[in-house]
């Protein structure tokens, strides 16, 4: 897809959202079913992923780890966003790799130390790109990727989360 085709696809959406902002508010959802033992099956839209305990919390490593899936979502979203922004900017990105890594202290999630945080202490996102873009273009690409990446922005500014049990 080139910049013209991307604009052609997005222009009617942008116009509709400007005219009626309510049209831009969409509720996405993820569904999961509790599985056997300590597992949960998540429908990804393309496949069913069975998640379970990370080996650092007693899992055997045969099931996906939800924390890894969070990092995978960040890598995927930021990679797609970077591609879209680069396309809009007219930058040629021939290829590259995205890496999301995060540091966890499993004492928190296992309840070993109440002062240890549950969740990632820090997350790092890096891109190794095959491009001839200038340093200035890459800086702009990076800023715009951060600005428009849904998962990145959600992690930076967490939304309110409501939990209900029935």
CATH of the domain at 35: 3.30.300.20
148 — pLDDT class (breaks 50, 70, 90):
very high
**Number of structural domains the chain divides into:** 1
Strand-pairing partners, residue 100, are 125
Q: Average model confidence (pLDDT) for the chain?
A: 95
Any domain includes 132:
yes
Asked if 30 and 23 count as a contact pair (C-beta separation under 8 A), the reply is: no
Question: Residue 46 has what pLDDT?
Answer: 85
Any domain includes 166:
no
Residue 134 sits in which domain range? 3-156
1 — pLDDT class (breaks 50, 70, 90):
confident
CA gap 26, 128 in Å, rounded: 33
Locus of tokens 């496949």: 47
Any domain includes 163:
no
Any domain includes 93:
yes
CA atoms within 13 A on the CB side of 25: 4
CA gap 102, 116 in Å, rounded: 15
pLDDT digits (tens, 9 = 90+) for 18-65: 999 999 999 988 889 999 889 999 988 889 999 999 999 999 999 999
Q: What is the DSSP letter of 160?
A: P
Question: Residue 75 has what pLDDT?
Answer: 97
Question: Residue 85 has what pLDDT?
Answer: 96
Locus of tokens 């989360």: 161
Strand-pairing partners, residue 122, are 103
Any domain includes 81:
yes
Nearest to 99 by CA among 125, 70, 81, 67: 125
| DSSP per residue, 23-36 | GG------EEEE-S
Any domain includes 147:
yes
Asked if 78 and 100 count as a contact pair (C-beta separation under 8 A), the reply is: yes
Q: pTM for the full model?
A: 0.91
Asked if pLDDT for residue 81 goes beyond 90, the answer is yes
């Amino acid at each position: 897809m080139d910049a013209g085709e991307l604009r052609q696809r997005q222009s009617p959406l942008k116009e509709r959202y400007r005219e009626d902002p309510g049209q831009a508010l969409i509720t996405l959802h993820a569904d999961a079913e509790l599985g056997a033992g300590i597992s949960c099956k998540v429908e990804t839209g393309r496949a069913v992923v069975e998640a379970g305990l990370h080996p650092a919390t007693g899992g055997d490593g045969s099931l996906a780890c939800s924390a890894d899936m969070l990092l995978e979502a960040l890598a995927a979203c930021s990679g797609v966003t970077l591609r879209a922004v680069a396309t809009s900017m007219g930058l040629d990105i021939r290829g590259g790799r995205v890496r999301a890594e995060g540091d966890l202290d499993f004492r928190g999630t296992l309840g070993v130390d109440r002062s240890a945080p549950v969740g990632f202490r820090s997350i790092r996102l890096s891109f190794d790109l095959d491009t001839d873009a200038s340093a200035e273009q890459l800086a702009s690409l990076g800023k715009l990727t951060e600005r428009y990446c849904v998962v990145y922005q959600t992690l930076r500014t967490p939304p309110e989360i409501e939990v209900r049990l029935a």
